[in-house]
Amino acid sequence: MLADSFSSAFDVFKARSPVLLGVDIASTSIKMVELADAGKGLYRLERYVIESIPRDVVTDGNVVNVELAGDALKRAWKRLGSRNRNVALALPAAMVITKKIIVAAGQREEDLELTVEAEANQYIPFALDEVNLDFQELGPAPNNPDEVEVLIAASRKEKVDDRVAAAELAGLKVRVMDVESYATQQAYKLITPSLPANGRDQNVALVDVGAHVTHFYVLRNDEILFSRDQAFGGNQLTQDIQRAFNLSADEAESARRNQGLPENYDRDVQQPFMESLALEVTRALQFFFTSTSYNQVDQIILAGGCALLPGLDDLIAKRAGVATLVANPFASMRVSERIRPRQLAQEAPMLMIASGLALRGFE
């Protein structure tokens, strides 16, 4: 291995443990998922947990308070009730530079690393000793059988180190550092059995509504054709509640979760928010159409904390003119008896990234 360039702390493409807990560190909560092999290519959901974290522990994807993040991870792991301490984490896509390159086929691992390092110098605007770097051969180059396509992924070391440090404070061992968009792409494969014709040869828009950012992807045959981040998320609804009912941020979030809001909440706050979200989705679709050669999508999948807002799927289907369903990466899985089905149905849309990360232990 090259000195510190290809770091084990940033193994985007190499799973190192037979079983991994998928851990999604988001701005408002930590999600953990543990899967087991159920045989014949199937999985079983063993455990999961969603642990709230204090405000400003994670900001814009950055872990700004490592100690509090570590405390939250420790609480989450204890609540999960697993003995497994091996975890897969992920970085936001905005923190990772990816580039596909073409290199000569048949190189030894050591020679390929040198080639990747030389190529990476052209595309990464940082000194290589400041980044964690990883790569994966994707297969033969499209137009030359003597060449192969290689995907490079790199991130600033401090972005990786902060997450690793928080996990280590919780007594966890980071075996894989992935990218959130790749984890979502993996989890999407769990949803395709719920789609007509398993989603084959269809353009499927996956809309993951986070607290502050909505991630919009269009996938075709399990590959991402298009992605776009929009600065709109569930925190907008919390702010609307604050203004409408003169509440603090914590009070608004609590009232929203516990359905403790006045009767006019749906009409005056939730419905306008849903209309705004539907507008964001239709705008993202237009960006997709104007940026690619495609002029339609066949299905929309909603994920994230807002996905189960009553009537949101029907509203987006109506505004976009596209069949819309709510994501459930566990729909085709066996589920442990310790898990409450009704609660899982309510929380499954928030577990896309965590479940995609948990799959890394079965590669």
Strand-by-strand arrangement of the 214-220 sheet: 223-230, 214-220, 203-209, 299-304, 324-326
Q: What is the rounded distance in angstroms from the CA atom of residue 97 to the CA atom of residue 182?
A: 13
pLDDT given at position 125: 85
Same fold, 8-92+158-182+353-362 and 188-329: yes
CATH of 94-156, one of 3.30.300.130, 3.40.190.10, 3.30.1490.300, 3.90.180.10: 3.30.1490.300
pLDDT given at position 6: 40
- Architecture field, domain 188-329: 2-Layer Sandwich (3.30)
Collect the ranges in the chain with pLDDT lower than 50. Answer: 1-9, 15-16
Which tens digit of pLDDT belongs to each residue from 88-133? Answer: 999 999 999 988 899 999 999 889 999 888 888 888 888 888 999 8
pLDDT given at position 122: 85
Q: What is the rounded distance in angstroms from the CA atom of residue 18 to the CA atom of residue 360?
A: 9
- Pick the closest to residue 20 from 150, 201, 178 (CA basis): 178
Name the one residue in this structure whose structure tokens are 């442990």.
Answer: 336
C-beta of residue 349 within 8 angstroms of C-beta of residue 80: no
pLDDT given at position 237: 95
Q: What is the distance of C-alpha 119 from the center of its chain?
A: 28
Output the pTM of the full model.
0.91
C-beta of residue 155 within 8 angstroms of C-beta of residue 180: no
CATH of 8-92+158-182+353-362, one of 3.40.50.300, 3.30.420.40, 3.40.640.10, 3.40.50.2300: 3.30.420.40
- Pick the closest to residue 347 from 323, 329, 335 (CA basis): 329
Domain boundary assignment for the chain: 8-92+158-182+353-362, 94-156, 188-329
